Structure formats: C-alpha cells, structure tokens
Amino acid sequence: MGLDGGVRLDELRAAAISIGAADLEAAREGFHRAYKSRSAKRTFHYIQIFALALIASAIAYGIYIAPDLAWTGIRAAAITLFASAILLRLFAAAHLRPLLSRLADTPTCPTYTILCPLYREANVVADLVAALDRLDYPREALDIKLIVEGDDVDTLAAALAVAGPKHIDVVIVPASAPRTKPKALNAGLIHARGDYVVVYDAEDRPHPAQLRAALAAFEDGPDNLACVQAPLEIDNANASWIARQFAAEYAILFRELLPLLASLRLPFPLGGTSNHFRIDALRAVGGWDPYNVTEDADLGYRLARDRYAAAMIGPPTYEEAPITFRAWLAQRTRWIKGHMQTWLVLMRNPWRTLRELGLRGFLMMQLMLGGGLVAAFAHGPLACIVLIAALSPYKLLSAADFTLALAGLCVAFFAALTASAVSGNFSHLRAALTMPAYWPLATIAAWRALLELVFRPHHWAKTAHGLSHRSRMRAYTAPQRNDFNSAHIASTSASG
C-alpha cells in the first residue's frame, strides 16, 4: 500500500487501531498524575536550584578566600571520581561473565507483546517486520504493535503494507506533545495483550532465540524479576570512524559493565531497546515517563526503587550506529539530557532514594549517572590540559595526574580488548587506538544537552536509520538445556 495510489489519510486510519482521547491522555499525562515526584515533566525544583546555586557559590567563595586549599579539594574530588570509574571498568573487563541462557521449551507459550515505536521510519519498516518474523516463537502467541504517529503518513502506509498477519497491529497515536518514544510506548501498552512485553526499535534485528531466552530467564529467576535486558551490538561499525567508536562503547557497556552490575545485584540503566518485562510489573510502576528522553535509564532505576529485579541474557539485538558526527551529536545530546533528567528526578529527595536503592545501589547510581555526566563535561577540558602539559616545558601537572590519565587510557584499551574477545568483533581494537580523540566530543554534546535541558527539555532528537550497509547477523549458540546453570543469568535486585 502506498500514497501514490491515492490512499487518503482517513482510509489509512480506518485500517489501524486508533488511540482514543482518553487513552491518549493517559499515555501523555497518566504517569505524571500518578507518580508526580518521579516524573520529569518539571525539570528543576526550587530546592534543587537553591542547592546547586549554594554549592557553586561555596566553591567560588572557597577559591576566592583560599585558592590553594580549594583547588586541592577540587582536585582530590576529581581524582576520586575518575579513579572510581577507572576501577569499575577495570573490574568489569577483568571479570567477564558469559551471558548464557537456557531457551524455554514449553508446550504452550504465553502471549508475548512486541512494541515497536516508529516515527519517520518508512524505509526500514519492512526490514523490521522481516527481522521479527525470524523470531523462534509461535505466531499465534505473538502480539506485535507497530506504533505510528498520526501525522506520519509515509510510515503509516509502510506499516499497513506489512501488517497483513493477524498477530501484527498498527496503532496510531494522534500527534500531540510530548513527541517522545515513551509516550508512544505507553499508548501501545494500553492495547498490549501479552503476559510479557518487549521493546524493539525500527532498526533492530533481534536474535531469533531472544524471546525464548528471556522467557526462560523469567521462569528460572526470582519472583521479583521484572525485566530482562538483551545486549545490544552494532552491526555497521565499519561504516565510519564514529560508528566504530560507538560500537566499542556498546560492547563495553553491554558485555562488561551491565553484566557486572547485574551479577553484583546492583541497579543499572536499561538499554533503549530489547528490554523484556513482565507486563504486570511494568504496569505496576506506571509504564514509561513520557517526559524523560532517556526513558530506559529512568525505568531501570525506577524498577529498582520499587524492589524489582533485572537480568541480562545472551542472545543479542543488532543495531545501527550513527555514521556522521552530526547524527551522533544529536543522539548523544539527547542521551546526556535524559541522564540529567533522570539524575535530577532521583535527587529530588536523596534520602528517600537512598532508602529505596540501598547504600550500594545509591552510590553506584551516582557513579554511573552523576559520574558519567561529570565525565562528559570534563573530557574536553581535561584533554586540552593533558595535551598542553605534555607539550609544555613547565611542570603543569603532577606525576599522580599523569598516572591517572595513563591508567584511564590503559584500562580503556584493556576494556576494548576484552570486549573484542567476548563479542568476536575486532573492530573494537581499532577503535581503542583513537579513543582519546573520541572522548572530548562528549563535552560538545554535554553543553548542548544543558542548554536543551533549560530551553526545550522534552525535545526528542530523531535519529535517521537505514543509511549504511550492515553486516549479516551472526549465529548464536545456546547451551544445552540440561547444562543450564542459573548462575549464568546475572540478576540484580534492589535489596541494597
């Protein structure tokens, strides 16, 4: 079906599920009304503005009256933060855990809902549906929702063209603010029929075994296991330098850092796709926050605050990385802005968050979210300082400073090496050689994110897909069912 054939918009709507006014309002505002203290609709609270201003004033006053002491304190805090991040990466790279997964083989599979939010994705809808058709799961037990914005006529036509099978529905979400992925997911969740639900993006190619692996994880996991995260792998790393760096980042995050946090039963930010949920637990926490532009990170910590557990499994989802700096910058700006939103929400009542996450979870959240934000702002200036110090005849930095910088570089190389080994993708080694040139780019994105947080906090920068050649899906070999060891599925709880 296509628009060239004279298909009118109202005829397209008639062939799909349209979200009514009440359901749309619930998708847009339901979370904010039910969980106002956890909603990112309001960016800054007065007490947070006051606290940040007070801290900034105290630092400025300290530098004014006792500059040597103040700079010593700032330097000590910076060294502690970066040393902690380096040690976390080193430990994650040195203690790899294979993400093996039993595959569920039940006579009657429970209904599994697949939510696919689509916006300006007409060129890749057919590829997405073809990838979903390769899933090793009974068609009669699938409930696929292709969620399309009401004014995106091209994507709507493309979705309806491939929505012939009974298990595929097209859901139309009337154009409304905020124009975000989590709002679309909430709309799809209203019509979900499954006992389990998973999110896939338009460019995703999930491994055929993924649903059965997730189902087995739920069957074998604790009663409070609410979410299972599949690793995300980039399959167009050779398209450009920026894509190669992006792929290395993903490999380190999804094959090293998140499995470590899961094995230590610490809360972690979810990936933006391939998160599998028990639908009752997802609805119990309110679904997604439509005003948070990194709804995945927010939901990961929100589940942990309500004492739910999360897990990692082996069968991956292959994704497409941005191939130009402009596309990367827009996406990274949104991610950093969303992490700012998530951190601000968590820090509205630090004592309550501490009680809910526990001390270990609270400190790791600060390192992952807060430390990541500090690093994003600091990478650019630190790179300039280190470069100037290295070229200057004067002693501008201490031996400890240079040692820390060298340690960070060595750990990054080691993490890329181990990520290559565990993923079988040796492009990560090529990326490691030029990582120091990649890190400072985050500072540009961080400042853009801060400006957006102030002036347009809920703006969603759309990433275009289907722009580069992608490698073929690699095979995944699951362990024999009799050899399954529940320890192979790393799980995390919010017990603190």
Instruction: Tell me what pLDDT residue 429 has.
Output: 84
* pLDDT single digits (tens) 52-90: 889 889 889 888 898 888 888 888 888 888 899 999 999
In degrees and rounded to multiples of 5, residue 226 shows phi and psi of -105, -25
Instruction: For residue 427, give the H/E element and its range.
Output: helix 427-432
Quickly state the pLDDT bin for 425 (edges 50, 70, 90).
confident
In this structure, what is the dihedral angle of CA atoms 408, 409, 413, 418, given to the nearest 10 degrees? 0
Answer whether 367's CB lies under 8 Å from 257's CB. Answer: no
Integer Cα distance of 165 and 177 in angstroms: 31
Banded pLDDT at 8 (limits 50, 70, 90): low
379 and 439 in contact (C-beta within 8 Å)?
A: yes
Averaged pLDDT for residues 399-422 = 85
Report the C-alpha gap between 277 and 113 in whole angstroms.
10
More confident residue, 216 or 430: 216
Give the per-residue pLDDT at 392: 77
Contact 328, 246 (CB under 8 A): yes
Q: How far apart are CA 372 and CA 351, in angstroms?
A: 21
Q: Quick one: CA dihedral 76, 82, 85, 90, positive or negative?
A: negative
Residue 1 has pLDDT above 70, yes or no: no
User: How far is it, in rounded angstroms, from Cα 235 to Cα 474?
Assistant: 10
386 falls in which pLDDT band (50, 70, 90)?
Answer: confident
Of 325, 217, 226, 206, whose CA–CA distance to 281 is shortest?
226
Q: CA-to-CA distance for 58 and 70, rounded, in angstroms? A: 10
- CB-facing half-sphere around the CA of 440: CA atoms within 13 A: 11
Note the pTM of the prediction, 2 decimals. 0.91
Q: Which whole-number Å values give the CA distances from 483 to 104, 478, 480, in the listed order? A: 13, 10, 5
**pLDDT tens by residue, 18-42:** 889 999 999 999 999 999 999 999 9
Say how many C-beta atoms besides its own lie within 10 A of residue 474's C-beta. 13
Name residue 292's amino acid: N
What is the distance between the alpha carbons of residues 169 and 152, in angstroms, rounded to a whole number?
Answer: 16
Q: Say if CB 494 and CB 361 are below 8 A apart.
A: yes
